[in-house]
Amino acid sequence: MMPEQQPLEVVVTTKNTASLTLGIIATVVGVVALLVGWVPFFGLIALPGAVLGLLFAVTGIIIALVRGMKGIGMPIIGGLICGIALAVPIVSTGGTSVAIQSVREQVAEELVRSEKEDEAVESVYVSEYLKLYDVEARYMESVLHGRVPGILFKIRNNGDKSLDRVEVTVYFKDADGTIIAEEEYTPVFVSEYSFSRDDKPLKPGYIWQNERGKFYSAKSIPTEWDEGSIDIRITDLRFTETE
């Protein structure tokens, strides 16, 4: 006769499913945020997700503590991943911003250095190779405006470069020699938008002068101007670009 079998007792241990579920959610959200967050600037959209995942993880940890530490492992893992996912886009974007700013500063410094070098070259060219002469400053008769202050001068290019632009500034003085006004003129100006045949570069050895019968007028000069009392300077130029 077969012995009677004793019934088997099955003990089922229930885990803290709420804490476990929250931990899994936090982990998934953190991993997604981490994958997106490493991309500079664009990765900032992962911040809300990382914060939300961190809240899930913290909630899961609290529930696990209340229920005797059951199921605490997964919320901790999810919290760590979300914490990293929260930091990555900030570090990535911040580092990239610093790098971009550094490049901008270097480019700006290089541009300033280049401009200063160009200005130095232009200043030397003006002082050594451009001659401003036959200057006249007096009241002249204008067909349209009558008797007005007028300026005549010539410019000779004694250098080896062609000039597309030459700016001349005239400073007008009163009887005490004090500068009371100024006028700027551009006798040489070549532009891609110029269609006049007179808009020609000032080539090496060439001379520019006012057209015969014409002069630069200075209608806005105060009546306190002492006729003939001026300073005149070449204040800017642009070299012809060579292809």
Convert the pLDDT of each residue in 109-159 to its tens digit. 888 888 788 788 888 999 999 999 999 999 999 888 789 999 999 999 999
Confidence of residue 69 (pLDDT cuts 50, 70, 90): confident
Phi, psi of 37 (to 5 degrees): -65, -20
203 touches 156 (CB < 8 A): no
Contact 57, 29 (CB under 8 A): no
Split at pLDDT 50, 70, 90, the class of 196 is low
Q: Which residue has the tokens 């885990």?
A: 15
Separation CA 184–CA 168 (nearest Å): 6
Query: What amino acid is encoded at 120 in this protein?
Result: A
What is the distance between the alpha carbons of residues 156 and 209, in angstroms, rounded to a whole number? 9
**Segment 14-60, tens digit of pLDDT:** 455 888 888 899 899 989 998 998 888 888 888 998 899 999 999 98
Judged against a pLDDT cut of 50, whether residue 12 lies above it is answered with no
The fold adopted by the segment(s) 129-239 is: Immunoglobulin-like (2.60.40)
The pLDDT of residue 10 is: 46
Q: What angle do CA 157, 160, 166 make, to 5 degrees?
A: 40
Domain ranges, ordered by start, for the chain: 17-103, 129-239
- How many residues does this entry show for the chain? 243
Distances from the Cα of 121 to the Cαs of 111, 169, 190, 236, in angstroms?
A: 15, 19, 20, 11
Nearest to 232 by CA among 159, 141, 131, 120: 131
Query: Which percentage of the chain shows pLDDT scores above 90?
Result: 47
- State the DSSP code for 222: -
- Measured CA to CA, the distance from residue 150 to residue 41 in angstroms comes to 61
pLDDT at residue 66 in the model: 86
pLDDT at 2 over 70: no
Q: Is the pLDDT of residue 83 over 50?
A: yes
Residue with tokens 């290019």: 157
CA distance 176 to 9: 120
Q: Residue 173 pLDDT > 90, yes or no? A: yes
Quote the tokens at residue 8: 């088997």
Spatial separation of the C-alpha atoms in residues 118 and 12, rounded to whole Å? 86
pLDDT at residue 11 greater than cutoff 50: no
CB atoms within 10 A of CB 213: 6
- CA–CA gap between residue 162 and residue 203 (Å, rounded): 4
Q: Which amino acid is at 123?
A: S
**pTM greater than the 0.75 cutoff:** no
The SS3 assignment for 211 reads coil
